Structure 1
């Protein structure tokens, strides 16, 4: 068990071996997936701060001690919730190059974090990833397989795109799609336009409303532009 109180061996078993239920006692009444979904329902409404083993147990109509027979603690429960909430990645789009595949991947990941804002806090610390998370990583690495990037660089691309999707989803959870950040800035600048004239001018188009998610679009396009330059230099033997 590490300093954070997580039994890493047990967590690995929960995520990767997926036992059907408690190791001893009566026939299991719940699956780990059902327990995870109960936790997700609470966290989606009240965040991780509102998530307790007691509340999950109550939602399943069992005692907290009964729940511990399935999941050893809250940290392990959150790991199961994250694996379930993220789910398996959708199939890559057909007929597109690496850029189209990574664009689709990032938008799918952004959507997952938008639907489950608590997942941001659940993924910022070192931890044991589950099968679904590795399946998402597999898609990025596979999309870049023939680009000339090294294995480490392909992994770095996945981390970069994940960070972009996760951080923007966190901002967006404060308001309508893609407008959380702008809406928050607009409130602060209102009445102080003389002090922040450049911000005021920049925010006016956002306040007027735009189609789609321009913040996600802009950052994603620039990241993919940079990756394209690196791939091009590898092809010419320069980089």
Structure 2
């Protein structure tokens, strides 16, 4: 495939230079547009990003942006690839399990820095250079696991899906606590104690046992993210054992 065969939106995502146009050089460039859009999303969330608002932030008209980005959907893809950035060097210490933990922790950090990433619509598999770098990093971690490439991609999908879901849930719960002054520990304790008084042991014997225990009396600093990730990794370990 030559540069001429690459779809225009994919060419922009990979920053393949477009053929030079006649006339004055453009005052804008794609990277400025994407950075302005990411700044808006960091401030106002993904719902605060429109082509009109990006153009206003840059001091240009909306039509000026179409020289650099074809649509709002394309802009979102460009923003996600920019915000995720290139994958870090995860090293080779500790084997595949530690490597996947580091991968998950690193992508979690990107979601923490740019919370709107969890709201990003998914229209297809990863295509951008930074997204591919994260894929490459996971495949490197799993290269000696004994899993075939298709299964390794499955692991990537499951782990990235878990991280995204966990971060979305954390964000939604934080929004639910806004203005209450309550921590997540406070909310869970109140939930458990309230339901313990309501749940009838004869009607819901197993749920009553749950609420009568200390499951909803978590200590501050309890890491639900790591607990869920370890369950996922146990499943990966089982898949590796099955082919070993």
The reply to whether TM is greater than 0.5 is yes
The question of 1:143 aligning with 2:152 is answered: no
Aligned to 1:3: none
How far did 1:135 drift?
A: 0.8
SS of equivalent to 1:43? helix
Indicate conservation of the 8 Å contact 2:80/2:120, yes or no. yes
Aligned to 1:224: 233
* Pair 1:175–1:186, CA change in 2 (3 A): farther
Aligned to 2:220: 209
SS of equivalent to 1:204? coil
- Aligned mate of 2:40, from 32, 39, 42: 42
The question of 1:154 aligning with 2:152 is answered: yes
TM-score between the two structures when normalised by the length of structure 1: 0.81
Indicate conservation of the 8 Å contact 1:83/1:132, yes or no. yes
* Count of residue correspondences: 222
Give me the whole-angstrom Cα distance separating, in 1, the residues matched to 2:184 and 2:75. Answer: 31
Q: Which runs of 5+ in 1 are unaligned?
A: 1-7
Aligned to 2:178: none
How far did 1:209 drift?
A: 1.1
Q: Which runs of 5+ in 2 are unaligned?
A: 1-5, 176-181, 200-207
TM-score between the two structures when normalised by the length of structure 2: 0.79
- CA-atom RMSD in angstroms: 2.9
Structure with the greater alpha carbon radius of gyration: 2
Aligned to 2:9: 11
SS of equivalent to 2:225? helix
Aligned to 1:4: none
Deviations 1:61-82 (A, max 9, x none): 1111111111121111111100
* Pair 1:86–1:183, CA change in 2 (3 A): farther
The question of 1:175 aligning with 2:178 is answered: no
How far did 1:194 drift?
A: 1.5
